[in-house]
Amino acid sequence: MKEKPWQKDPNHFKKVRVSAVALVKMVMHARSGGEIEVMGLMQGKVIGDTMIVLDAFALPVEGTETRVNAAQEGYEYMVDYVIKGKEVGRLENVLGWYHSHPGYGCWLSGIDVSTQMLNQQFQEPFCAVVIDPNRTIAAGKVSIGAFRTYPESYTPPDAPASEYQNIPLSKIEDFGVHASRYYELEVDYFMSGLDKSVLELLWNKYWVATLSANPILMNREYNARQINDLAEKIEQADVAISRTGGVGGMGPLAGDRKKKQDSGASAGELAKVSKDGCKIGVESLHGMMAQVLKNVLFNGSGASIQ
């Protein structure tokens, strides 16, 4: 790594591999923050174009919405933690930072981009990880994204279309303005022998709480916000369609080129609203199916369901 290939190629890093224990620690920390953003650091190593996260630790930092920042207290804690780790033989370097976006997806806000650019300037190699604890509970799988920013002097090529994300209306502007200033890395996971032992200990302690948890009740506020946001998006799409005389451009000025372009844009917005609605429905069904399965397994009510 002495050659520092990331300085020549802003897209040098392609993948982030996260250990099972580091992932559990980050998700539990993100969930403990509720609707408040929380932040921590990741430790690990780099092999080729892959950043390997071996451990993570929380910082005494909180934020609101897309405004999480490490204050002086957080920096002091970070330095002290790393020094103490070296003293007890933990030689992993700080590899990046993580923070939560409770309920509004995995992406970088303007503040996040500025923070990551500063870190890449002075602490390379460094990556940013975002976790959405609400969507993790709702979808039944970890909602996570890993990112790196481009240098200020670098103009990225046209990026390929990424997977569609359901972004709340209140965050769409911040999401769109900064989306071209960073790129996303592929994330996968691995489990070592030590990870397996730690997870077994955690399961022995939390298995009752895990099995008795109801994702629908735990996420009821998030679900309500999702439905309200969907209603606002439907209303906006309805207004846009009414202005263009219908999705297919069948109004009185359907032959006009601008009219067709507006109709196409309206149809695109309607398709996005449809995706958002399907996503909310699938997440709700996932929670209901989990409860039905628990009822069958533990209450012996399989006959009544059949």
pLDDT at 297 over 60: yes
- The pLDDT-based confidence of 13 (bands split at 50, 70, 90) is very high
**What's the pLDDT score for residue 129?**
95
Of 80, 113, 6, the C-alpha closest to 50 is 6
**What's the pLDDT score for residue 85?**
75
* Nearest-10 crossing angle of helices 110-122, 169-178: 40
CA triple 161-41-39, angle to 5 deg: 75
| Structural contact between residues 284 and 292, judged by C-beta atoms closer than 8 angstroms | no
Over residues 255-273, the mean pLDDT reads 60
Helix (H) or strand (E) holding 129: strand 127-131
pLDDT at 267 over 70: no
Of 53, 189, 180, 72, the C-alpha closest to 128 is 53
Q: Say how many C-beta atoms besides its own lie within 10 A of residue 215's C-beta.
A: 20
**Percentage with pLDDT > 70 across the chain:** 77
- The pLDDT-based confidence of 301 (bands split at 50, 70, 90) is low
**What's the pLDDT score for residue 34?**
83
Please give the Cα distance from 70 to 83 (Å, whole number). Answer: 18
Sequence-ordered alpha helix ranges (H) in the chain: 20-32, 72-87, 110-122, 133-139, 169-178, 193-212, 215-218, 220-244, 257-299, 302-305
**What's the pLDDT score for residue 119?**
87
Please give the Cα distance from 106 to 219 (Å, whole number). Answer: 18
Q: Say how many C-beta atoms besides its own lie within 10 A of residue 17's C-beta.
A: 18
**Percentage with pLDDT > 90 across the chain:** 20
Inter-CA distances, 88 with 42, 78, 145, Å: 17, 16, 31
**What's the pLDDT score for residue 245?**
61
Over residues 155-179, the mean pLDDT reads 65
User: How much is the mean pLDDT over the chain?
Assistant: 78
Tens of pLDDT along 200-254? Answer: 877 777 767 777 777 777 777 777 777 887 888 788 777 777 776 655 444 444 4
- The pLDDT-based confidence of 166 (bands split at 50, 70, 90) is low
**What's the pLDDT score for residue 147?**
95
Instruction: Please state whether 103 falls in left (phi above 0), alpha (psi between -120 and 50) or beta.
Output: left
pLDDT at 35 over 70: yes
Q: Name the CA dihedral angle for 59, 60, 66, 71, rounded to a multiple of 10 degrees.
A: -100
Which of 202 and 32 is assigned the larger pLDDT? 32
pLDDT at 68 over 70: no
Q: Say how many C-beta atoms besides its own lie within 10 A of residue 54's C-beta.
A: 20
- Give the pTM: 0.71
**What's the pLDDT score for residue 306?**
45
Which of 25 and 220 is assigned the larger pLDDT? 25
Which of 72 and 212 is assigned the larger pLDDT? 212
Cβ burial 125-157 (10 Å sphere, 16+ → b, else e): bbbbbbbbbbbbbbbeebbbbbbbbbeeeeeee
Of 280, 290, 296, the C-alpha closest to 135 is 280
Q: How many CA atoms lie within 13 A of 193 on its CB side?
A: 0
